[in-house]
Structure 1
Amino acid sequence: MLKINRKRIVLIIITLAFFGFGTSTYANNMKETVEKHEQLPTEIGISVLKEMLDQQKEGFKSGNPLLNSQISKLTETDEAVLLYYAMVDVDKLPLTDFTYSIDHVDVYLDDKDQMIVEGYIIRNFIFGKGNDQFETSLGDNIAVRIDGEKDKFLQNGIINEMSKVSLTQNTAENKQLISKDEFLKRYQEEVDNDNQQGEDTDFESEIENEEHAQLAYTYKGSVAAYYALKYALNPNKKYKLYRADCTNFVSQALHYGGIPHFTKWKPYTNAWINAGSFRNYIRESGGLKMKTVKDTYANVKLGDVYHYDTRNSIFLPIPDGWMEHTAIVTSLQNKKILVSYHSNNRKNVPREYYTSVEGGKRYLSSIR
């Protein structure tokens, strides 16, 4: 009998109600409207975030991500921590470098005269050895509150006052209440069962469609992957940006790779922006020359697409055939299939990573 964690379900439903249904939420659309009583110099915020991220760097490179967590503000449910342990403990790939960048910093006093720092941070990991090294990155919105008097905080020095800095928002915190141990158990199972994922279907039946029957095109997966890597962490401003942006992002990459627009698949039709509609369009109308294949390393090429089915129509964690998330293959390294996606912004993460956090099933579409 399936055990249902009611607290988790309630949180999922509340999260979906706030962030929008269907896919995950894009990091840069997360800021709430806050009344700002006094704008402060951004240098203050940059210094606070830099202190925090420098400590994260020290922790990751020492092999203990939670080292001095009162400064780094890391928890074991931060996706960066989960990703680190997945790659190092399960995939046995050493961390060779960690870097970060800070952008869109805003510092102000709120209506309670508390100092708030908001920013967009990108954390880059390099895993592997020699020529097999690869970079994987996470882009997230973050906000911290600084308790106490502003002048005293600045006077005493940031390093001495980090205990007064509280993390109030971090889109890297996984919303499924999954512990590190549970995540690693799932991830290990995903890795062990990789050759059994996916399903076989008839390619011809999936591409049979009058709309493109006489339309020839050449898809270059490496070109689509290039686009995805370029805009995974910083979206292309030529396109609309959705709160749930994963399928919109993947559609952009596919089009850049050479797939023309169709009546039902173009900006911003349901099939272009919605994970479930996109998957159904491929399978039913076949406007795109795609085939569902077994999810194995041998079947994957750059620019192929992953579909993730994580919950049912009433938001229980039970796959029902309707997709909630879409990602695109952007790298093949160390026998690992790496994907990139929006909502939240991730570049070159293992394709097992999303289902290890969210649960559910994934399907691989090969593009011809």
Structure 2
Amino acid sequence: MKKIISVFLITFLLLASTSGSLYGSTYDYKDEETLKIMDAVTKYLSIPLEEQKNLQVIDNIYIANSDLKKYKELQSKLLVEWYSGIGVKIEYYDLKVNINSIQNVDDLIKVDLNNIVTFKYMNADFLSGYTDNYILYLNKELLVEKEIYEMDSKAYLLESEINKKVGYNEYISDKIKTLKEKEIRLNNDIADFKNTFAKSKDSNKDSIELFGVIYNAQAAASWALANVYAPEEYDADCTNFVSKAIHAGGIPTDGTWYQGSNAWIRVIELRNWLLNKGYANEYSSYSFAQLGDVIQFKLRSNGLYTHSVIVTGKDNWSEYPYVSAHTSPRYNVLASIYYPDNDIKWSGYRVLDVHGN
């Protein structure tokens, strides 16, 4: 077992003038103060990983006494119960924080950062990872007062939306309310998820011919894993990423599906094209998800499918699918982190089995 926390400082942060401003800030950030901020946010972000590693709720002492504290306490409780319920835990992890900007906003310190995590699930024989963008507001004691974060969202865009629509206080109150609703159905979610894999589809996924097309699922998955951390071409790059992967696996382009086309970069259009061409069958259970398959998730707020991922791994003890994705980079993570684990944002999913029956 091991835990590694690596803190990366952006060089020009350390070279910033001790008497000047940083990113338009009027706050005087000396090297020592910047290091303290880095230490505070790193410890704050490490708590959920420690909880997934030990399957125990940990008091996050790096949060100020606020509604955020209430939210994170409930979130921790549900996280531990979820992972304990489905029998999954983290063996070890490596956390790296890259700071994008630091600003003084009123009486708070605003930190825009990327949280870069590599980890290993217990019993998996491969590594997993992700990168998330956060905006954190710290008080003078360097305790976190506000957190701006949603999975697969750019924090600055999310903050702009929050400020236009509801304001932060209502935003965090709504998140607490949604978690309380999730708490009520958690046991059922755990049971449903486990029952999904009571009977799994058994088939060879390495290379299979369907409708005259040779699809190499391993090649598609390998391409995705090799390119998870490559630069994104679109603000919403998920389906573009998946299209490139299945094309690398042998799915041929045509006059409708080609790089940059709607069918290539849009969630619903890709699904329709795959089904219309006979390259995929659609299922509503993770048990059908095998290497090289596509999974799409339905957004709770509007009922539309808005996110695509590709299956890139299966562990050696269960039938759980592990997926990789763009928009926010995801590398061999459990598909359940989208749904049902994050059913605050997502309300369902569908599996596009590009291997046929």
Question: TM-score higher than 0.5 here?
Answer: yes
1:95 paired with 2:90, answer yes
Q: Distance in 2 between matches of 1:275 and 1:55?
A: 34
| Counterpart secondary structure, 2:256 | coil
- Unaligned runs of 5+ residues in structure 1 are 1-34, 149-160, 199-206, 209-215
How much has 1:194 moved relative to structure 2? 4.3
1:67 paired with 2:20, answer no
Partner letter of residue 326 of structure 2? Answer: H
Matches within 5 A, 1:1-16: none
Aligned CA distance change for structure 1 residues 349 and 51 (closer, same or farther; 3 Å):
closer
Aligned CA distance change for structure 1 residues 141 and 184 (closer, same or farther; 3 Å):
farther
1:168 to 130, 147, 156: 147
1:37 paired with 2:25, answer yes
Counterpart in 2 of 1:305? 294
Residues 100 and 122 in structure 1, CA contact (< 8 A), matched pair in contact too? yes
Residues 171 and 344 in structure 1, CA contact (< 8 A), matched pair in contact too? no
Aligned CA distance change for structure 1 residues 69 and 245 (closer, same or farther; 3 Å):
farther
| Counterpart secondary structure, 1:119 | strand
| Counterpart secondary structure, 1:145 | strand
How much has 1:49 moved relative to structure 2? 2.1
Counterpart in 2 of 1:332? 314
How much has 1:38 moved relative to structure 2? 4.3
Q: Deviations over 1:183-209 (max 9, x none)?
A: 4532431321346899xxxxxxxx87x
Residues 306 and 327 in structure 1, CA contact (< 8 A), matched pair in contact too? yes
Counterpart in 1 of 2:188? 185
Q: Distance in 2 between matches of 1:263 and 1:250?
A: 18
Aligned CA distance change for structure 1 residues 60 and 296 (closer, same or farther; 3 Å):
closer
Counterpart in 1 of 2:224? 228
Aligned CA distance change for structure 1 residues 55 and 361 (closer, same or farther; 3 Å):
closer
1:118 to 112, 115, 133: 112
Q: Distance in 2 between matches of 1:81 and 1:140?
A: 21
Aligned CA distance change for structure 1 residues 195 and 350 (closer, same or farther; 3 Å):
same
Q: Distance in 2 between matches of 1:190 and 1:265?
A: 34
How much has 1:109 moved relative to structure 2? 2.4
Q: Distance in 1 between matches of 2:220 and 2:97?
A: 27
How much has 1:344 moved relative to structure 2? 4.3
Residues 293 and 366 in structure 1, CA contact (< 8 A), matched pair in contact too? no
Counterpart in 2 of 1:250? 242
Q: Distance in 1 between matches of 2:52 and 2:139?
A: 27
1:362 to 326, 350, 354: 350
Aligned CA distance change for structure 1 residues 220 and 277 (closer, same or farther; 3 Å):
same
Aligned CA distance change for structure 1 residues 134 and 75 (closer, same or farther; 3 Å):
farther
Aligned CA distance change for structure 1 residues 256 and 113 (closer, same or farther; 3 Å):
farther
Counterpart in 1 of 2:257? 265
How much has 1:270 moved relative to structure 2? 1.2
Q: Distance in 2 between matches of 1:98 and 1:81?
A: 20
Matches within 5 A, 1:198-209: none
Residues 100 and 124 in structure 1, CA contact (< 8 A), matched pair in contact too? yes
Aligned CA distance change for structure 1 residues 68 and 325 (closer, same or farther; 3 Å):
closer
Q: Distance in 2 between matches of 1:178 and 1:340?
A: 26
Tell me the number of residue pairs that the alignment of Structure 1 and Structure 2 aligns. 288
Counterpart in 2 of 1:47? 39
Bigger relative CO (Cα 8 Å, ≥ 6 apart): 1
Q: Distance in 2 between matches of 1:295 and 1:240?
A: 30
| Counterpart secondary structure, 1:301 | coil
Q: Distance in 1 between matches of 2:128 and 2:61?
A: 22
Q: Deviations over 1:108-135 (max 9, x none)?
A: 224x364211111023442223xx4444
1:290 paired with 2:280, answer yes
Residues 86 and 190 in structure 2, CA contact (< 8 A), matched pair in contact too? no
Aligned CA distance change for structure 1 residues 343 and 36 (closer, same or farther; 3 Å):
same
| Counterpart secondary structure, 2:95 | strand
Q: Distance in 2 between matches of 1:292 and 1:94?
A: 30
Identity score, percent = 23
Partner letter of residue 144 of structure 1? Answer: L
Residues 329 and 339 in structure 1, CA contact (< 8 A), matched pair in contact too? yes
Q: Distance in 1 between matches of 2:325 and 2:57?
A: 24
Q: Distance in 1 between matches of 2:274 and 2:198?
A: 23
Q: TM-score, normalised by structure 2?
A: 0.66
- Unaligned runs of 5+ residues in structure 2 are 1-22, 152-171, 202-209
Residues 187 and 352 in structure 1, CA contact (< 8 A), matched pair in contact too? no
Q: Distance in 2 between matches of 1:355 and 1:197?
A: 19
Counterpart in 2 of 1:211? none
How much has 1:285 moved relative to structure 2? 4.0
Q: Distance in 1 between matches of 2:54 and 2:261?
A: 47
